Amino acid sequence: MSEYIPVLIMILLAATTSIAILLIATFIGPKKSFPEKMQPFECGETPIVSPKLRFSVKFYLIALFFVIFDIEAVFLYPWAVIFKELGMFGFVEMMLFIGVLAVGLIYVWKRGALEWE
């Protein structure tokens, strides 16, 4: 049980720090409120459309497309570094992983996320 004491101390310190920062900001921070301050902020410009506007499904398909390639890059690099140590098992597992990502890519492609209009 003594191995967990440093972890518990760090959790306690993190919780105490975050609560202290929130309390200090609540009691000391500025309290003035005016209409310009309460408007949504969009890169220093007045918003063109309502922030509650729904996004097109294409936005989510492109986001899915990005995630597919991002995850692939994150996992392929460490695999390539220790490729020889993993042997055939590591190769088969990575081919299954790439196959799952390929299915995701085909799905996004069939849904038309790669067509710019």
CB 79 within 8 A of CB 94: yes
Residue 116 lies in a domain: no
Per-residue pLDDT of the chain (117 residues; tens, 9 = 90+): 889 999 999 999 999 999 999 999 999 988 888 887 777 666 666 667 776 777 777 777 778 778 878 888 888 888 889 988 989 999 999 999 889 888 878 887 887 777 776
Over residues 41-68, the pLDDT tens digits come to 666 666 677 767 777 777 777 787 788 7
Query: What is the number of domains present in the chain?
Result: 1
Residue labelled with tokens 């055939």: 88
Residue 117 lies in a domain: no
CATH code: domain of residue 40: 1.20.58
Residue labelled with tokens 């038309």: 112
The whole-angstrom separation of Cα 107 and Cα 30 is 50
What is the extent of the structural domain holding 47?
Answer: 2-110
